[in-house]
Structure 1
Amino acid sequence: MSVLVVGARSDMGLAVAHRFAAAGYDVQLAARNAAQLNADAADIAIRHNVQATTHELDVLAPDSFEGFIESLPALPQVAICAVGLLGDQAVSEQDLSAASLVMRSNFEGPALITGLLADRFVARGSGTLVGISSVAGDRGRASNYVYGSAKAGYTAFLSGLRNRLAKKNVHVLTVLPGFVKTRMTEGMDLPPRLTTTPERVADTIFKAASQKRDIIYVKPIWRLVMGVIRALPERVFKGTQL
């Protein structure tokens, strides 16, 4: 068995790789500047006694996706997309290039590579696809609507893909972590009750994938929080400045 982790240089991506490797999965680590993952691959291989390989992939270069998949040692049983770019909302509001990078990194690239892998899994007749999206996609908020809108797009894409593949023996899991202590959120004042760790995200993904879950909030309290936020009438919500 093998698992492909796209966005493997991220804290969540590496944590997921270790969790699946601990269960005996060979690991394919994919990211830009993949050579920087060589030491991580060696550590995973030694620590968990599995095969670990690194693969160059830029999710902003869709023309390379076909060749990337063909270059893998084997088509994995599980593919996990952990790509994400938070960006800066204030900058994105003024800089079209910055906004485009956030949108493409969180929606276009992840959706296209996930969809292409889905086609390969359907042709084989089995597989599990895991997309790490965000609670920020549950409703557009003033504080991060560029990032949130991109994640909303990815969440909707995963939902449609899951619906399309429901009878194809290909499982699609949407993961909504909430706040996570990573390099991307370093320096941010995160509320402890709503914050988790990459290791907990990884463990939750492994269990949910095994159980064929559809949508998971890593910390269940986020389901309640976002349920309340989604339920607010627009005339009330627009005055909150969340």
Structure 2
Amino acid sequence: MTETWIIVGASSAMARALARATAPRSATLLLCGRDTEDLQRDAADLRLRGAQAVEVLAYDTRDPGTEAALVARAAALEGPFNVAVFAGAMPPQTEVEADPSLLAGVVQDNFTATGTLLLRLAPLMEARGAGTVVGVASVAGDRGRLGNHVYGAAKAGFATLLSGLRNRLGRSGVHVVTVKPGFVDTAMTWGLDGMFLVAAPEAVAKDILAAVRRRRNVVYTPWFWAGIMAIIRSVPEPIFKKLQI
């Protein structure tokens, strides 16, 4: 049986890289995102790369109707399936500080919508007794920093939810991988100050698939971010709160 991937937030650079990496394995791909016209072009490319079947579904973190349609489509799939969630948004911290009402949207895009979707898909995966959930969190969620603590807080919540789902779904044979990327060359990070050690989306996709194969629980990508974040987490709070990071 070929592998089936539901890719949520499929127009992101990391999601596209994952889809391209799985296509040559004759995977069946469901590309879910807002810009369905753009995703149709991706679908054509993925078929040429070897995907067995590619389908495009509308999905918007602000539209519950698209979530319901996606869950219904997943319920109609035969056999186990995998889910990879890349959906999210990172407005500048300064914009949220200038208009705190934007916080609700950040939480909706990075935690509430994606978390609700996974909670609705969980029973379907449990019933099939197999499959993998890949949830893309962020190193930003490891500690609240001056420059992006609103985004980091939402991603921290998502990472905690993934941990709980791992505990729940593992009992039925479904594995959950929490992915914590560092700086990745994507539209979300384009033009940001302070970027260093920026990874290519293709490298992140490779790390994700390796983590799935090895049934890793939490993976930092690139790998050196595990060490960087261990150091950042270990800095005493009286010192940390004075740092300009």
Fold shared, TM-score > 0.5 on shorter chain: yes
SS at match of 1:179: coil
Paired residues for 1:11-22 under 5 Å: 11-22=13-24
Deviates more, 1:115-124 or 1:65-74: 65-74
Counterpart AA for 1:183:
A
Q: Which residue of 2 aligns with 1:25?
A: 27
2:223, 2:38 → 1: CA distance? 34
Change over 3 Å in CA distance of 1:140–1:201 after alignment to 2: same
SS at match of 2:188: helix
Unpaired runs of at least 5, structure 1? none
Aligned mate of 1:102, from 86, 96, 106:
106
Shift of 1:231: 1.0
1:9, 1:228 → 2: CA distance? 33
Q: Which residue of 1 aligns with 2:9?
A: 7
Counterpart AA for 1:213:
R
Instruction: Check whether the contact 1:176–1:217 (CA below 8 A) recurs between aligned residues.
Output: yes
Counterpart AA for 1:17:
A
**Alpha-carbon deviations, 1:190-231, whole Å to 9, x = none?**
655x32111011111111111111100111211111111111
SS at match of 2:172: coil
Change over 3 Å in CA distance of 1:189–1:163 after alignment to 2: same
SS at match of 1:184: coil
Instruction: Check whether the contact 1:24–1:50 (CA below 8 A) recurs between aligned residues.
Output: yes
Instruction: Check whether the contact 1:59–1:113 (CA below 8 A) recurs between aligned residues.
Output: no
Change over 3 Å in CA distance of 1:200–1:190 after alignment to 2: farther
TM-score, normalization: structure 2?
A: 0.92
**Alpha-carbon deviations, 1:158-203, whole Å to 9, x = none?**
01111122221010000011000112112235655x3211101111
**Alpha-carbon deviations, 1:26-71, whole Å to 9, x = none?**
1110011323211110110112242111001112233542332213
Q: Which residue of 2 aligns with 1:149?
A: 153
Paired residues for 1:111-130 under 5 Å: 111-130=115-134
Counterpart AA for 1:162:
R
Paired residues for 1:129-168 under 5 Å: 129-168=133-172
Q: Which residue of 2 aligns with 1:222?
A: 225
**Alpha-carbon deviations, 1:101-152, whole Å to 9, x = none?**
1121111111111222222100221110000110000000011001000000
- RMSD between aligned alpha carbons? 1.6
* Regions of 4+ moved over 4 Å: 189-192
TM-score, normalization: structure 1?
A: 0.94
Counterpart AA for 2:53:
Q
SS at match of 2:49: helix
Q: Which residue of 1 aligns with 2:207?
A: 204
2:244, 2:195 → 1: CA distance? 18
SS at match of 2:177: strand
Change over 3 Å in CA distance of 1:32–1:97 after alignment to 2: farther
Paired residues for 1:82-93 under 5 Å: 82-93=86-97
**Alpha-carbon deviations, 1:74-112, whole Å to 9, x = none?**
266211001121111001012133222112111111111
In the alignment of these two chains, the number of paired residues is 241
Instruction: Check whether the contact 1:118–1:129 (CA below 8 A) recurs between aligned residues.
Output: no
Paired residues for 1:74-85 under 5 Å: 74=77, 77-85=81-89
